[in-house]
Structure 1
Amino acid sequence: MTTAPSTPTDEAPKPPAPAPAKSAWAGLRPLVLRLHFYAGVLVAPFLLVAALTGLLYAASFQAEKIVYDHELTVPVGDRKLPVSEQVAAAREARPEGTVSAVRPSPEADATTRVMLSGIPGVDPDHTLAVFVDPYTAKVRGELEQYGSSGALPLRTWIDEFHRDLHLGEPGRLYSEFAASWLWVIAGGGVVLWFSRRRALRKLRGTDGRRRTLALHGGVGVWVAAGFVFLSATGLTWSTYAGANIGELRTSLGQETPSVSAAAAGEHAGHGAAGGTAGDAAHGAG
């Protein structure tokens, strides 16, 4: 009795090939991608507003000269009056204020600016600038001023919009939050781009979403350094992160040097005492 030859269907099935092991990055990439996307959606409005208001702020210096031409300029006269008379004119116009600073006329056709504090209705952090004609001591106008740079209402409005979107503390917190996450978005985008750099090279000449993705990645890599720099410099001026940075600088001994008024007084007294003793000795001699 003969046995029928075996056929391929009678053989035992081969076990399936084991699936290739996934790398650690393959499991981490979806998280980085979603973090990059959602953080970008949250931060993008801040970037747009910050860029536009930053450009407006740069142009506001020249814009103020046009908008406030009457307050800032005067016809050139023969001789400027003493600054004391100009300050007296400003104090007469606003007797309820206290003179905090005076900026004499820097040019022949410029007014003298007298800053007054303690004016009712003026923000406590601001001063009231009274503009005086240096040739006639007549007051040409008054405007609220902010900061050591002498920002007038137009520039102040743009500056506050740049800092907190005119939303007060919530807007300031949003700006700080967006600046804090900017470096995360930039770093995550660079990592994602490098992980797909070979695939991106093959996308040249394609259309649609893949081409847009390739363009987004290429542009993002080039501007990533600028985003990180913008985030780092912006945080130094923020409320909470800026305070922590200030404490870190203090602990490292990097704070700005200052002069102690008490020490200066002691030094002056010591010098005066030494001078008196020297004079007495000289007189005795």
Structure 2
Amino acid sequence: MSVEPAVRTPGDPQEGGRPDPPGARSAWAPLRPLVLRLHFYAGVLIAPFLLVAATTGLLYAASYQVEKIVYADELRVPVGGSELPVSRQVTAAREAHPEGEVAAVRPSPEDGATTRVLLSGVPGVNPDHTLAVFVDPYTGEVTGALEQYGSTGALPLRTWIDELHRDLHLGQPGRLYSELAASWLWVTAGGGVVLWFGRRRARRRIRGATGRRRTLSLHGTVGVWAAAGLFFLSATGLTWSTYAGQNVTELREAVGQTTPVLDAGSSSGGEHAE
């Protein structure tokens, strides 16, 4: 004698004795295929761009330490008895490189580190960059000169990796790759979270599951835990992008959240105005 398995229909009591909420399945059923396809195709679209961004970002994070090794001859010197006055170090740098003008001086930050004399307007150097002349603070000897970019003192290697991460060395068109990835990352992550919660009622324990079902369960669990980080990466990436970043800047200006600018020509201040 055979016994036919019971077929559970929407609205029938569940195993725990509670019926499905009225309309719960009917409201989600037509939306699930749309969200599923959006999640899948958006993920396929941005996956290569995310891989490139993650790889170049990892390289940039490691470039700080690699830079110290590659440019050790310029950055490090034997520790001496006492350091020369900064004025003498600047004079030594100017004797070796009289071109351009002194833009800033970064004294030796620790024992055995060189002093950087930054020159702007040097022929052959990018106008947005400076020429960093490295001076031994103990002897006044110039150990080398390298092009520097940014307030973090990025030397050629780190600058090259930074530009690779930012625009793949393709200029303005290259910046669109990161904007595309950041713009769709939150859509992919959000769609995955919605799908995970939608399937939660129908899911079973992952233990004992095999094959595709187990893979999907692991994918959903890992994705939900990573969703907060993905949303954060998407938001921060958009602020640095070309078009969305410009909109963020305009929004900050509209609400008065821009960085204050010092007006050196202001006459206010009374007797301490100077």
Q: Give secondary structure in 2 for the equivalent of 1:122.
A: coil
Question: Which consecutive segments of 4 or more residues in structure 1 shift more than 4 A?
Answer: none
Aligned pair in 2 of structure 1 residues 170, 272: CA closer, same or farther (>3 Å)?
Answer: closer
2:158 match? 155
1:271 match? 271
The AA in structure 2 aligned to 1:105 is S
Aligned pair in 2 of structure 1 residues 25, 76: CA closer, same or farther (>3 Å)?
Answer: same
Highest Rg: 1 or 2?
Answer: 1
Q: Give secondary structure in 2 for the equivalent of 1:141.
A: strand
Aligned pair in 2 of structure 1 residues 62, 195: CA closer, same or farther (>3 Å)?
Answer: same
Structure with greater contact order relative to length (CA < 8 Å, sep ≥ 6): 2
The AA in structure 2 aligned to 1:224 is A
Q: Is 1:229 equivalent to 2:221 in the alignment?
A: no
2:118 match? 115
Q: CA deviation at 1:54?
A: 2.8
Q: How many residues align?
A: 251
Given the alignment, which residue of 196, 201, 222 partners 2:199? Answer: 196
Counterpart CA distance in 2 for 1:106 and 1:203 is 55
Contact 2:108 2:137 in 1 (8 A): yes
Per the normalisation by structure 2, the TM-score is: 0.83
Q: Is 1:239 equivalent to 2:242 in the alignment?
A: yes
Q: CA deviation at 1:121?
A: 2.2
Q: CA deviation at 1:65?
A: 1.5
Contact 2:178 2:237 in 1 (8 A): no
Q: Give secondary structure in 1 for the equivalent of 2:30.
A: helix
Given the alignment, which residue of 114, 138, 142 partners 2:145? Answer: 142
Aligned CA-pair RMSD: 2.2
Q: Give secondary structure in 2 for the equivalent of 1:261.
A: coil
Aligned pair in 2 of structure 1 residues 229, 97: CA closer, same or farther (>3 Å)?
Answer: same
Deviations 1:45-102 (A, max 9, x none): 2322333333332322222211111100112223322212211222222222221111
Contact 1:91 1:97 in 2 (8 A): no
Counterpart CA distance in 2 for 1:205 and 1:254 is 54
Deviations 1:25-49 (A, max 9, x none): 3223222212111111121123223
**Structure 2 stretches lacking a partner, 5+ long:** 1-22
Counterpart CA distance in 2 for 1:267 and 1:203 is 70
**Structure 1 stretches lacking a partner, 5+ long:** 1-20, 276-285
1:4 match? none
Counterpart CA distance in 1 for 2:40 and 2:117 is 51
The AA in structure 2 aligned to 1:256 is T
Q: Give secondary structure in 2 for the equivalent of 1:54.
A: helix
User: Percent identity among equivalent residues?
Assistant: 75
Matches within 5 A, 1:1-285: 23-201=26-204, 204-263=207-266, 266-267=267-268, 270-271=270-271
Counterpart CA distance in 2 for 1:45 and 1:167 is 17
Counterpart CA distance in 1 for 2:45 and 2:173 is 15
Counterpart CA distance in 2 for 1:136 and 1:147 is 28
Counterpart CA distance in 2 for 1:177 and 1:81 is 52
